[in-house]
Every structure is written in C-alpha cells, then in structure tokens.
Structure 1
Amino acid sequence: MSDKPDMAEIEKFIKSKLKKSETQEENPLPSKETTEQEKRAGES
C-alpha cells in the first residue's frame, strides 16, 4: 500500500452530487474591542 491517493477514485468523483450546506461558526473569536476591555480589566 502506498501513501498516495488512488487517482482513479478521485477522477470518478462528481462534485455536482454534493449537497449544499450552510456553515455556521459555533465559537467565533471575540472582537478587538472585547479583548481590549478584558486586557484593561485584568490590569486593574
């Protein structure tokens, strides 16, 4: 077995059969303002 993918399988892949999905960010990063507030609160 080699580490390379089987190119025959990749060539048979049909992208149009994929279902469309909407992604939602579950854990968004805090805004710059929020991090600045937290920095100031930590310094007090």
Structure 2
Amino acid sequence: MSDKPDISEVTSFDKSKLKKTETQEKNPLPSKETIEQEKAAATS
C-alpha cells in the first residue's frame, strides 16, 4: 500500500461522455455601487 491514491480510472476517463451544462451563480457578489451604498447607510 502506498500513500498515493490509485488514479488509473481518472487517466482513462472519457470527457466526451460528459454533458455540457450552463452554470448559474446562485449567490452573486454585490456590485461596487451596492457596497458603497451600504457603507454610507451604515455610517450615517
């Protein structure tokens, strides 16, 4: 037994069998303008 995992399956994996999917951002970061507005609201 070695410390390294068996990667033989990974090297023989066929990427062409994968389906193409569109990624959607579930929790997008706020824009710079939104951050500035929140900072201004917090200081007043």
Q: Using structure 2 for the length normalisation, give the TM-score.
A: 0.82
1:43 is displaced (CA, Å) by 0.6
The aligned amino acid for 2:38 is E
Paired residue total: 44
Query: Percent sequence identity over matched residues?
Result: 73
Cα-Cα RMSD? 1.5
More helix by share: 1
Structure 2 counterparts to residues 3-42 of structure 1, below 5 A? 3-42=3-42
Looking at structure 2, the residues matched to 23 and 2 of structure 1 have their Cα atoms a distance apart, in angstroms, of 37
Where do 4+ consecutive residues of structure 1 move more than 2 Å?
1-5
Q: Using structure 1 for the length normalisation, give the TM-score.
A: 0.82
1:3 is displaced (CA, Å) by 4.5
